[in-house]
Each structure stands twice: as C-alpha cells, then as structure tokens.
Amino acid sequence: MAEDRIIPPSELIINDDGSVFHIHLRPEHLRDNILLVGDPERVNMVASYFDEIDYDISSREFHAIGGRYKGKDIMCISHGIGPDNIEIVLTELDALANIDFKTRKVKPHHCTLNLVRVGTSGSLVYDLKIGDFVVAQKAIGFDGILNFYADRDKVCDLDFEKAFCSYVAWDPTWAAPYVVDADADLVDRIGKDDMLRGYTIAAVGFYAPQGREVRLKLKDPHLNSKIESFRYDGRPVTNFEMESACLQGMARLLGHKAMTVCCIIAQRVAEDVNTDYKPFVGNLIETVLQRF
Ligand SMILES: O=P(O)(O)O[C@H]1O[C@H](CO)[C@@H](O)[C@H]1O
Ligand SMILES: O=c1cc[nH]c(=O)[nH]1
C-alpha cells in the first residue's frame, strides 16, 4: 500500500474524541506488549496483577486496561467471542500504532506489537487434560477471514492446508482453511519448555463448527474423528478455540508478533468439562505476565 495514501474516514473510522471506532482507544493508550482475552471480565483478572493502572475503557465487548506489571508497560484488551472480532481488534490496534490519525497516512516508521492471547479451549487428544496449557504453534483457521486479504498465501502454511483439506475431504461450501504459525520468538519466551506446542483449530463457531450436536445435526458427522486421526509431521491437531488463526494471520500481515496459549476447559474425546476453570486461567495469566 502506498505510504502517501490518505485513508478515507469511512475506511478507518475515528470517533469525535480521537479514539478508533470500535475499541474506543486513542493512540496514547497503546502499549507495545498486549495481552488479549475473549471475556471482558477476564481483563479485570489480568489487571489484578498490575502494580499501576493508567486507564480502564470499555466499549461493546472490547474492554481495555493499561498499566504496569513489575515496572513494564502493558495493556490487556478483550475481543469477545469469534474471529470476526479479532480482525477488528488487530486492525484498530495496528492503526493506533502505525497510522497518523491527523494526516490519515501510514507512519514512516513501523511499530511492532507483541500480542499474546490467553484463551480457553477444548482438547482433541486424550493426554491433553483439563487444566493443561497449549500453545497454538500452528493455528488452523476455519473462518476464512484471511482469504479476503492480499498476500494471505505469503503468511500461510500452504502445504499443511493442502494435506489437511485432502485428508478430511473438506466440504467446498465451507470457507477454505488457512494455517498460520505463531511467532517463534514469542513462543520460546512465553511457552519456555513447559507448555505443549500444538496445532490449534480456530473454529468459526462453538457448536456445529466444533462438531457439537445439541438439537441440530452435523453436515459431516465424521469431521471430528477425521481431524483426530490427521497427522502433520507426525503430530495431531490438539485443540479447538476460535481466534488464534485470525490473530496470528493478521499479525503476520501487519508485521506484528503474535501467539495464542489456551487453558483446556473441555475434553472432547473423554466428553468431560470443567465449568470452574477460572483458577486455572488465573495461573496461566500469571505465568504469561511473568514471562512477557
Ligand atoms: O475464553 P476465550 O478467550 O473467549 O476463548 C474461547 O472461548 C470462547 C468460546 O467459549 C471463544 O472465544 C474461544 O476461543
Ligand atoms: O471447547 C471449547 C472450549 C472453549 N472454547 C472453545 O472454543 N471450545
């Protein structure tokens, strides 16, 4: 994109108070180190570990708190449920970092953000139990969002996509899956040697798109068992959540570093769940903050 392009007000919407449209933050609210969580209430849990708080802003499902953790500037923002929300959050955080709101032009010097999503997830393998943590080393997006962006092929693992679609006999009426790696440096830093590196599916819904039947039947009732027996480089798909692929894909396209780490709250193979999962998520948040 030409650096001298003036981005029209209808394409990047800036509110009267100088904040960006949905997340309602102004450029001075941005921090380079950003924790992302689905649940707006989880932002309070993250901020309970902060030593100082600079701001607390809420708009729709987007709740942001900025402050300091052990002397380090940091912010946490919620994105709600679903990959479509992550596309909004990433685009608007990047705009705060890399677009001059007065001239509406891309700034000459790129600012790189470190983005770590801490989420909850359903396990697809027996030995990944409730309470375990798994890093989305590769995120498999079932939502199709990245396919709308030029250059999506440059940031995706095309070989994995081909092998996966062929193995599970992907239905052509579904959006084409895209597969994006997490940032390797962030994964080393946050995952150290005690968090499992997995292949995570970012589903486009919670029920049928993750193989759940409540009252409605699945179009392909065998999809989950095919996913469970699929191997890439000898490794299985480990878990379901909903935002890792769009996060990692948008971050790569925009020149940021991103990863997702999830706490398992549902065991899909053993058909088990823990609704009292918040203490486990609290442990994960504290670990991530210490390593950020
Ligand atoms: O716990 P969070 O971060 O919301 O993550 C997971 O939980 C939600 C579904 O219950 C989806 O957003 C999924 O990605
Ligand atoms: O099974 C699960 C649990 C949490 N989040 C998901 O998306 N799926």
The string of pLDDT tens digits covering residues 27-64 is: 999 999 999 999 999 999 999 999 999 999 999 999 99
State yes or no: pLDDT of 266 exceeds 60. Answer: yes
Say what the pLDDT of residue 139 is. Answer: 99
Alpha carbon 194 to its chain's center: 21
Say what the pLDDT of residue 291 is. Answer: 97
Computed over every residue of the chain, the mean pLDDT equals 97
Q: What is the pTM of this model?
A: 0.97
Evaluate: CB of 204 within 6 angstroms of ligand 2. no
For residue 2, name the pLDDT band (cuts at 50, 70, 90).
Answer: low
Cβ-contact 226, 238 below 8 angstroms: no
CATH class, 27-291 region? alpha beta
Say what the pLDDT of residue 241 is. Answer: 98
State yes or no: pLDDT of 3 exceeds 90. Answer: no
Angle at 132 between CA 127 and CA 136, to 5 degrees: 90
For ligand 2, the distance from its centroid to the CA atom of residue 184, given in whole angstroms, is: 24
pLDDT tens sequence across 149-188: 999 999 999 999 999 999 999 999 999 999 999 999 999 9
For ligand 2, the distance from its centroid to the CA atom of residue 263, given in whole angstroms, is: 10
For ligand 2, the distance from its centroid to the CA atom of residue 271, given in whole angstroms, is: 13
Which residues contact ligand 1 via a Cβ below 6 A?
37-39, 81, 119-120, 206, 241-243
Residue in 60, 62, 81, 117 with CA at minimum distance from that of residue 205: 81
Evaluate: CB of 241 within 6 angstroms of ligand 2. yes
Residue in 191, 166, 193 with CA at minimum distance from that of residue 259: 191
For ligand 2, the distance from its centroid to the CA atom of residue 239, given in whole angstroms, is: 8
For ligand 1, the distance from its centroid to the CA atom of residue 208, given in whole angstroms, is: 15
pLDDT tens sequence across 116-157: 999 999 999 999 999 999 999 999 999 999 999 999 999 999
Share of the chain above pLDDT 90, in %: 99
Share of the chain above pLDDT 70, in %: 99
Name the E strands within 111-205: 114-123, 133-141, 178-181, 196-202
Evaluate: CB of 239 within 6 angstroms of ligand 2. no
Evaluate: CB of 123 within 6 angstroms of ligand 2. no
Say what the pLDDT of residue 177 is. Answer: 98
Evaluate: CB of 266 within 6 angstroms of ligand 2. yes
ipTM computed for the complex: 0.99
Q: Map out the domains of the chain as residue ranges.
A: 27-291
- Ligand 2 pocket mutation, candidates 124, 240, 243, criterion most atoms within 8 A of CB: 240
Residue 193 to residues 41, 188, 273, 285, Cα–Cα distance (Å): 29, 8, 26, 17
